[in-house]
């Protein structure tokens, strides 16, 4: 099984891994590849980065789907047999849609959408973004126009946060603190605000900004609003969480060859397996490639340097520095090679591990994404 097969055999592919390893880049590259292979692909990203939009020939990422113009493939010498659309996740709007869906009536919906604490939770609370990414995925999956949906996950501090997001969201709204609030507020009404004020403020001080009675009123409203939604939310989070375990969903772990990142990838791989999710491939991105040692004598090497540098530069005197940086590059490459090998031994050969070299430049256009894809699919 290769990564190309994984892409061919699944309807949803999710890239996961620690920040900065290349999740967004490889997600986009896989989407480009599949579109070129004739599939109708949606690339769902959290990354508002202009860089990604530009790579795909779009002015900016939007929260509704946009198709990458076919002409752009042609201009880059590529042939797109299918289609590629991209869409950016809007966390707040996804959450609002969820509230709209589960609120018992219009008034309840308006009360929660207008609540300041809700607005904080919906846009800034840790875990919300991860959860909403899954939520959106669950929704777009029902859209039969897509042959393949590639989800680029949020730049979470720890990749593990992503997996546990539904459970954490449920735990947060079903926590003893929440239930305590609910009891107090529902039981005693507004008169109790003064009494519980101190405790409430301490518990929710992370939410900040609003103080005093107004704050507590907001808390009360939020808590009762969430309670109204809770049954629906809980059921939904379970659905979303289960959907991620479906055989049509493939997780692709992305890592750099850095020992710390590899260590995290191994840990995450175990967690995925324990959670019953399908880790179908591993991408080791930004690998230093091993450059052969020059086989010609030093004198000839100096001649070769002289042929390419301006006449004002003394080829003989820069040779030692060039030789030293070649050595450094070679030792990076062999360290990276050892890491990839160790990873392979740990993971076993049932899971494809693909390497993408570190390019001299950022990946900034469709041709570069297609080039990344050639490494991902072993076509390079
Ligand atoms: N193989 C590569 N060679 C060179 N630059 C790369 C490579 N892969 C990714 N990059 C660059 O590294 C940066 C981080 O990549 P990105 O995909 O945004 O990471 P993540 O989404 O995991 O945070 C980007 O500027 C991207 O262009
Ligand atoms: Mg990213």
Ligand closest in space to the Cα of 368: 1
**Structure confidence by residue, pLDDT tens digits, 45-75:** 887 777 788 888 888 888 889 999 999 999 9
* Nearest CA residue ID for atom 23, ligand 1: 20
CA distances to 195, 204, 218, 230, 231 from 215, rounded to whole Å, are 14, 10, 5, 22, 25
- Rounded CA gap, 96 and 222, in Å? 14
The pLDDT of residue 198: 46
pLDDT at 29 over 50: yes
Ligand closest in space to the Cα of 255: 1
Collect all residues with Cβ–Cβ distance below 8 Å to 260 and sequence separation of at least 6.
none
CA distances to 302, 303, 304, 372 from 309, rounded to whole Å, are 11, 10, 9, 31
Question: Comparing C-alpha atoms, which of 178, 255, 170 is closest to residue 224?
Answer: 178
- Rounded CA gap, 307 and 169, in Å? 63
Q: Cβ of 253: how many Cβ atoms within 10 Å?
A: 27
Residues with CB under 6 A from ligand 1: 19-25, 155, 285-286, 356, 358-359, 362-363
Q: Which atom of ligand 1 is nearest to the CA of 287?
A: 1
Spacing of C-alpha 159 from chain mean position:
9
Write out the CATH class of domain 3-289+348-376: alpha beta
The pLDDT of residue 199: 47
Collect all residues with Cβ–Cβ distance below 8 Å to 127 and sequence separation of at least 6.
161, 165, 168, 169, 172
The pLDDT of residue 190: 43
Q: Cβ of 101: how many Cβ atoms within 10 Å?
A: 13
Ligand 2 ion local residues (Cβ < 5 A)? 23-24, 47, 155
CA of 96 to the centre of ligand 1 (A): 31
The pLDDT of residue 76: 93
The pLDDT of residue 14: 93
CA of 52 to the centre of ligand 2 (A): 9
- Rounded CA gap, 242 and 249, in Å? 11
Q: Cβ of 328: how many Cβ atoms within 10 Å?
A: 11
Q: Report, as an integer, the average pLDDT of 78-90.
A: 93
Main-chain dihedrals φ then ψ at residue 376, nearest 5 degrees: -60, -35
User: In this predicted structure, which of 81-85, 170-174, 242-246 has the lowest mean pLDDT?
Assistant: 170-174
Domain parsing of the chain, residue ranges: 3-289+348-376
- Rounded CA gap, 79 and 208, in Å? 53
Angle between helices 128-140 and 212-243 (to 10 degrees): 40
* Nearest CA residue ID for atom 17, ligand 1: 22
Q: Which parts of the chain fold into alpha helices (H)?
A: 3-9, 23-36, 50-55, 70-75, 91-102, 106-113, 116-124, 128-140, 160-163, 165-173, 176-188, 193-203, 212-243, 259-274, 298-308, 315-347, 366-376
Collect all residues with Cβ–Cβ distance below 8 Å to 282 and sequence separation of at least 6.
252, 253, 254, 255, 265, 269, 343, 347, 351, 352, 353, 354
CA of 315 to the centre of ligand 2 (A): 42
Instruction: List, as one string, the DSSP characters of 89-147.
Output: --HHHHHHHHHHHH-SSHHHHHHHHT-HHHHHHHHHSTTHHHHHHHHHHHHHTT-TT-S
Rg (CA), the chain: 26
- Which tokens in the block code for residue 132? 């909403």
Q: What 8-state DSSP symbol labels residue 258?
A: S
Ligand closest in space to the Cα of 284: 1
Q: Report, as an integer, the average pLDDT of 223-247.
A: 80
Main-chain dihedrals φ then ψ at residue 85, nearest 5 degrees: -120, 150
> Ligand 1, from 363, 364, 371: best to mutate by most atoms within 8 Å of Cβ?
363
How deeply is 31 buried, as exposed, middle or buried, from its count of CB atoms within 10 A (0-12, 13-18, 19+)?
A: buried
Q: Residue 307: left (phi > 0), alpha (psi -120 to 50), or beta?
A: alpha
* Nearest CA residue ID for atom 15, ligand 1: 22
pLDDT at 160 over 80: no
Q: Which atom of ligand 1 is nearest to the CA of 360?
A: 4
pLDDT confidence band for 156 (50 / 70 / 90): low
CA of 295 to the centre of ligand 2 (A): 41
CA of 14 to the centre of ligand 1 (A): 17
* Nearest CA residue ID for atom 9, ligand 1: 22
Q: Report, as an integer, the average pLDDT of 191-212.
A: 47
pLDDT confidence band for 189 (50 / 70 / 90): very low
């Amino acid at each position: 099984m290769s990564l190309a097969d994984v892409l061919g055999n699944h309807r949803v592919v999710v890239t996961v891994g620690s920040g900065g390893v290349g999740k967004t880049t490889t997600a986009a590259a896989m989407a480009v590849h599949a579109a070129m292979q004739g599939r109708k692909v949606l690339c769902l990203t959290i990354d508002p980065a202009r860089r990604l939009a530009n790579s795909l020939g779009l002015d900016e990422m939007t929260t509704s789907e946009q198709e990458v113009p076919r002409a752009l493939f042609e201009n880059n010498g590529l042939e797109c047999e299918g289609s590629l659309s991209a869409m950016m996740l809007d966390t707040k709007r996804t959450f609002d849609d969820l509230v709209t869906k589960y609120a018992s009536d219009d008034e309840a919906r308006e009360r929660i959408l207008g609540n300041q604490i809700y607005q904080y939770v919906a846009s800034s609370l840790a875990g919300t973004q991860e959860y909403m990414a899954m939520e959106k995925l669950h929704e777009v999956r029902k859209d039969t126009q897509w042959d393949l949906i590639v989800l680029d996950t949020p730049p979470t501090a720890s990749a593990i946060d992503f997996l546990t997001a539904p459970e954490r969201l449920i735990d947060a709204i079903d926590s003893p603190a929440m239930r305590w609030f609910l009891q107090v507020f529902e039981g005693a009404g507004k008169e109790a605000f003064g009494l519980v004020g101190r405790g409430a403020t301490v518990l929710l001080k992370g939410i900040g900004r609003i103080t005093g009675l107004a704050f507590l009123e907001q808390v009360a409203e939020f808590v009762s609003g969430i309670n109204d939604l809770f049954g629906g939310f809980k059921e939904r989070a379970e659905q979303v969480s289960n959907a991620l375990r479906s055989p049509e969903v493939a997780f692709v772990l992305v890592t750099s060859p850095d020992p710390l990142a590899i260590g995290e990838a191994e840990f995450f791989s175990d967690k995925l397996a324990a959670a019953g999710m399908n880790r179908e491939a591993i991408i080791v991105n930004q690998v230093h490639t091993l450059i052969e040692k020059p086989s010609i004598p030093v004198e000839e090497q100096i001649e070769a340097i002289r042929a390419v540098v301006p006449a004002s530069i003394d080829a003989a005197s820069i040779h030692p520095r060039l030789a030293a940086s070649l050595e450094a590059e070679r030792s990076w490459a062999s360290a990276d090679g050892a890491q990839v090998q160790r990873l392979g031994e740990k993971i076993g050969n049932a899971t494809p591990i693909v390497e993408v070299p570190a390019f001299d430049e950022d990946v900034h256009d469709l041709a570069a994404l297609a080039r990344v894809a050639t490494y991902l699919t072993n076509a390079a």
